[in-house]
Amino acid sequence: MIDIKELRKSFGHNEVLKGINIKVDKGEIISILGPSGSGKTTLLRCLNYLESPDGGTVTIGDISINSGKVNKKEIISLRKKSAMVFQSYNLFQHKTALQNVMEGLLVVQKRNAKESKEIALEVLQKVGLKNKIDSYPSQLSGGQQQRVGIARALALNPDVILFDEPTSALDPELVGEVLEVIAKIAKEGKTMIIVTHEMNFAREISDRIIFMDNGVVVEEGTPKNIFVEQKEERTRQFLKRMT
């Protein structure tokens, strides 16, 4: 379903992605681990062209974009294939939880108000926020805001949900409720790529783990391969620091 080939990205002289190759099957849950600054967020952002790669090809489903031959229409089509859950939630502050979730359905998917509301209510129920639909972000805890962020992504029914460190802005006591919601969605067979520093969570939830360092994929495999039988010294050192 997803095929990333030789993906490259630099910011000035800083080469952040140095030829990344990753394939993801439909329904697979992939966690990307790695030290800060290793390029994980940039990789996610290249998948929907929030950042334009300098080299390589991104394929999601039937849309394939080569960095050398990009047109706007293709980018719009590619963006519709995924939905991102951001570290800092990125909710509209002047809209309620319900309105935040409805926004993409109305504006991007051009659905009518009735249908958008039905879908939004269903996903807000799924993330446990049925009783908060009329609350504004400022009236919600960080965990609740992030669950709205997840509901918003889920509502669009994308081929893949991209999670960019979804719990790293949260107070420790609020992390669990968000991870629980992500685990619930994972069980429903959604394809997901999750950048996270939550090692235990990644270990439990993932079909496959990718360890990145310094712009390259150092090692990938099952949670057992990475957490127990890791082959690379860099992986071992990182896990030692994190666990």
Residues that bind ligand ADP (CB under 6 A): 11, 14, 16, 34, 36-42
Q: Which is closer to ligand ADP, CB of 16 or CB of 161? A: 16
| The residue type at 37 | G
Percent helix, percent strand, percent coil in the chain, to nearest 5: 40, 25, 35
**Closer residue to ligand ADP, CB minimum distance, 38 or 144:** 38
Give the sheet arrangement for strand 63-66, strand by strand: 14-24, 2-11, 55-60, 63-66
Shortest Å, Cβ 38 to ligand ADP: 4
Tell me how many helices (H) and strands (E) the chain has.
9, 10
Q: Which is nearer to ligand ADP, 36 or 131 (CB)?
A: 36
C-beta of 55 vs 128, nearer to ligand ADP = 55
Q: How far is the CB of 239 from ligand ADP (least distance, A)?
A: 16
Question: Rounded to whole angstroms, how far apart are CA atoms 206 and 92?
Answer: 31
The CB-of-113 to ligand ADP minimum distance in angstroms stands at: 36
Give least dist CB 164 to ligand ADP, A: 8
Alpha carbon dihedral 229, 231, 236, 242, in 10-degree steps, equals -60
